[in-house]
Amino acid sequence: MPTAKLVANASPSPIHPDLDSILVSEGEIKKRIRKLGVEIAELYGNEEITIVAVVNGAILFTADLIRQIENPIRLDCIRISSYRNETRSLGKPQVLGHLSLDLANRHVLLIDDILDTGKTLSMLVAVIQKMHPASVRTCVLLDKRGRREVEFEADLVGFQIPDKFVVGYGLDFAERYRNLPCIGVLKSHLQNPPEWA
Ligand code: 5GP
Ligand code: MG
């Protein structure tokens, strides 16, 4: 069972003027990722893990998480067509390109930045299952459980968060803010279609 911390109280943001508040600080992220490394070790024992990261969003999380894993790992990335209009999802996500690693008989750990409606990860798990892996598990940094449109739970969750549009630590709005070291709530007047996007 995931032991994700529920994030409810946001603190004022001194980090970036476009943020309303900070939901998860850099220090909290680091601490939780160390614990996720322990949870992964308990789940997998000494088995090799084939990590599949959903890019671009999961880049920072994956880079930090794999350094907390002592098992042998293989790493691949997958890209999904953007099926979102600004901050809300529309239609169905689709895989762009293909994986370069063979997943047959491998223990696959799919990593994404955030689980929202559940459409992306449920579609990706179905795609990976067709490749006959030994197992498929999912790990997300953030989980907006209240927003699910399809039934889906991740095996490993960093933080449960409320239904707010967040950026930072890999998560973007129109490709900006991915480099912020924390997770913050974007000011609502900036969540409209940006003129500079
Ligand atoms: P789902 O398919 O579960 O609805 O959405 C997952 C994807 O939507 C995530 O990988 C992420 O790209 C995007 N997403 C969902 N919520 C947020 C959010 O609050 N902020 C950002 N930047 N992206 C989000
Ligand atoms: Mg994404």
Q: Which residue bears the tokens 């490749």? A: 131
Q: Which ligand is closest in space to the CA of residue 123? A: 1
DSSP designation for 38:
H
Q: Which residue bears the tokens 């900036």? A: 190
108: containing domain = 26-162
Ligand 1 atom showing the smallest separation from residue 54 Cα:
10
Per-residue pLDDT tens digits for 6-30:
776 666 656 899 999 999 999 999 9
DSSP alpha helix (H) spans, the chain: 26-44, 59-66, 119-129
Residue 8 lies in a domain: no
Ligand 1 atom showing the smallest separation from residue 147 Cα:
4
Residue 191 lies in a domain: no
Could you give the residue numbers annotated as active site?
Answer: 116
The alpha carbon of 43 and the centre of ligand 1 are apart by a number of angstroms equal to 26
Residue 55 lies in a domain: yes
* Statement: residue 195 has pLDDT above 60: no
| pLDDT reported for residue 197 | 39
The alpha carbon of 35 and the centre of ligand 2 are apart by a number of angstroms equal to 23
* CA pair distance 78, 83, nearest whole angstrom: 15
Ligand 1 atom showing the smallest separation from residue 112 Cα:
10
DSSP designation for 48:
-
Residue 134 lies in a domain: yes
Write out the residues surrounding ion ligand 2, Cβ under 5 A: 57
| pLDDT reported for residue 157 | 98
Residue 112 lies in a domain: yes
Residue 34 lies in a domain: yes
Read off the pTM: 0.92
Nearest CA-CA partner of 119 in 78, 79, 150? 150
| pLDDT reported for residue 86 | 65
The chain-wide mean pLDDT, for the chain, equals 91
Per-residue pLDDT tens digits for 51-62:
999 999 999 999
Tokens of 66: 């794999």
* 100 φ, ψ (degrees, to nearest 5): -95, -20
Per-residue pLDDT tens digits for 145-188:
999 999 999 999 999 999 999 999 999 999 999 999 999 999 99
* CA pair distance 134, 24, nearest whole angstrom: 34
Q: Which helix (H) or strand (E) holds 140?
A: strand 135-143
Residue 117 lies in a domain: yes
Ligand 1 atom showing the smallest separation from residue 123 Cα:
2
CB atoms < 10 A from the CB of 178, how many? 17
Residue 95 lies in a domain: yes
Q: Are 142 and 161 in contact (CB under 8 A)?
A: yes
Tokens of 126: 């179905």
Q: Which residues line ligand 1 (CB under 6 A)?
A: 54, 57, 84, 89, 93, 112-120, 165-167, 171-173
Q: Are 111 and 79 in contact (CB under 8 A)?
A: no
* CA pair distance 82, 24, nearest whole angstrom: 25
Number of domains in the chain: 1
* CA pair distance 74, 21, nearest whole angstrom: 36
Atom 23 of ligand 1 has which residue's CA nearest to it?
171
* Statement: residue 194 has pLDDT above 60: no
CATH code of residue 87 = 3.40.50.2020
The alpha carbon of 27 and the centre of ligand 2 are apart by a number of angstroms equal to 23
- Residue 76 vs residue 1, higher pLDDT: 76
The alpha carbon of 33 and the centre of ligand 1 are apart by a number of angstroms equal to 19
Atom 13 of ligand 1 has which residue's CA nearest to it?
114
Q: Which ligand is closest in space to the CA of residue 142? A: 1
* CA pair distance 43, 91, nearest whole angstrom: 34
* Peptide bond connecting 56 to the previous residue in cis, omega within 30 degrees of 0: yes
